[in-house]
Amino acid sequence: MKANQEIISLDEAVTLAGLFQTRIRLSADRVAYRYYDPDKKVWCNSSWAEMGRETARWQAAFEQEGLKPGDRVGIMMPNRREWVMFDQAALGLGLVSVPLFYNDRGGNVSYIAEAAGIKLLAIFGREQWQSLESVRGELTTVHRIISIESLDGMAHDDRVRQMDTWLPKSAGEYKVVDDIDPHSLCSIVYTSGTTGHPKGVMLSHHNILSNTYESLQTTTIRDDDIMLSFLPLSHMLERTGGYYLPLMAGVTVAYARSILLLAEDLLIIRPTFMISVPRIYERIYAKIQEGLEEKPPIIRKLFDLAVDVGWKRFQHLQGRGSWSPSLLLWPLLNKLVASQIVEKLGGRLKTAISGGAPLPPDVARTFLALGVPVLQGYGLTETSPVLAVSRIDDNIPESVGLALPSTQLKIAENGELLAKGAAIMLGFWKNPEETNRVIDQDGWFHTGDVGQIDPQGHVYITGRIKDIIVLANGEKVSPADMEIAIAMDALFEQVMIIGEGKPFLSALIVPEAEHWKNFAEGLGLDPEDPASYKNDEVIEHINHRISEQISEFPGYAQVRKAVLLSEAWSVENGYLTPTLKTKRKLIIEHNSQIISDIYSGH
């Protein structure tokens, strides 16, 4: 495979704004972005030259607002070309961009805006304004609010302007102000925070640029690849991997219309490169399993055979397994089974990155066996974000891969994974105490994750230090693996293991809506009746199914009691972070009486 000659080096780019400027110069007429026009109902293309001209309009508008280098500007909108225009306009003028989750709650946005001192905020439209309207009085540092969509009849605020009337008609070429220090602050990214207020992670041009370049060294991505972008650009995984990385490599990015239309967009765009969180892969896996349940036994056996042979083939190709005569069946099994699954993902995927949370090994093995090249990666917002990633020719599903080329990783005495390298953040915004807590005197960043590194350098993440449950008898349990195992049962949509300081473990479980309906009705119960969630027969069945899922865990890591909850945990109700991590402390506080009842009298 030929190397990608289009990759822009660190010396050429110097800053993220320089990266954009260089790409425009090198690839002016090539397609930069694909997007769907809902009015015309067609997919459209934008060239790099067009992106440069449009971004220059944003720069002119920023200057008309009197913004100066170092000023903070916020962006709260879903993935689209305007996100890139806003970000690059800010970077080129030496402004500091502050990304906000497009669907975040008003209270969280007002806290971040005030803490960061945001002067201008760009939103997409009505949905964002509805969340902001009740807190607009708290946006004291914000002098201007720009909306992509018209807010006619909604926004009674003198600060609001509609994008089309705010932007000048034209503004010449994209520019980069002189003397931007590559090590200077370019973005404050607020961690979604599973406890307390979010913290502002300060990242420099060099932090992100070096992480982007090193990530590219681990892939075979080429300038004729196409990526489908659907994770929020406000999250560093998508921002680095799905925006700056394609920009550095000259790769076209297509913006998915929505998660609901993702399956359709995969067939239309037919991406060769994709970044996702485990939940997307888990949902596809669950759909496959549900479909198999309705098929004749012979079809299910054929699928199982395809996975079994496909896995042996994968291990053989990886150099970890010997050749087997059963591999002779692969061409037929591929045609009958595997290719059907691959085709649902567009049929051309060469690299499918999974990050942000652990991918269940069974899910990873199934996709790999069927020919979907899923690679796990690992990192944090504070590390720009990638620390480690699996390689196509060195891919162990249980591992998050090898460290990036110049990133150093080691395990501390308490089992915590520590990191050092060019991508480590500058620190937390206006929070030196917390900065000094996570970056020690020797420059090692403390990830907060419990990990292991094997002799070949493969990294394994086994849990979060702060999530470790210490039972009353002193036994320590990392709940993450148990929660993943239990959630492999299609009846269980969300799972949280509890038991800190208690004599045994329990589980809080949110059932999957459709499966719950069928399950409850199968027992002659009304799924809408709150009493059904506490029914003795239901709980007996639930406990049995949990036991089956975690039968291989140690005796002390068994769940003695389970409680079904009717309210799902979501970003909207505050129980999930925007990156879909569970806010354990908040959920425990909200269910304190239920938990007390679980352990009263044992």
Q: Report the C-alpha gap between 112 and 226 in whole angstroms.
A: 34
Q: Residue 552: what pLDDT?
A: 82
Q: Report the C-alpha gap between 258 and 38 in whole angstroms.
A: 12
Q: Residue 1: what pLDDT?
A: 37
Structure-token pair, residue 506: 């329990």
Q: Residue 193: what pLDDT?
A: 57
Domains defined along the chain, listed by start:
10-275 (3.40.50.12780), 468-599 (3.30.300.30)
Q: Residue 196: what pLDDT?
A: 63
- Average pLDDT per block of 10 residues along the chain, 602 residues long: 72 97 97 97 98 98 97 97 98 98 90 97 96 94 97 89 95 94 97 72 98 95 93 94 97 95 96 91 87 91 97 97 96 96 94 89 94 96 97 95 96 96 97 95 95 97 84 82 88 93 92 94 94 94 93 84 93 80 88 91 60
Q: Report the C-alpha gap between 143 and 160 in whole angstroms.
A: 9
Q: Report the C-alpha gap between 288 and 302 in whole angstroms.
A: 13
Q: Which helix (H) or strand (E) holds 224?
A: none
Q: Residue 484: what pLDDT?
A: 87
What is Dmax (Cα atoms) for the chain? 74
Half-sphere exposure of 249 (CA within 13 A, CB side): 29
Q: Residue 2: what pLDDT?
A: 43
Residues with Cβ within 8 Å of 287's Cβ and at least 6 positions away in sequence, in order, are none
Q: Report the C-alpha gap between 181 and 205 in whole angstroms.
A: 8
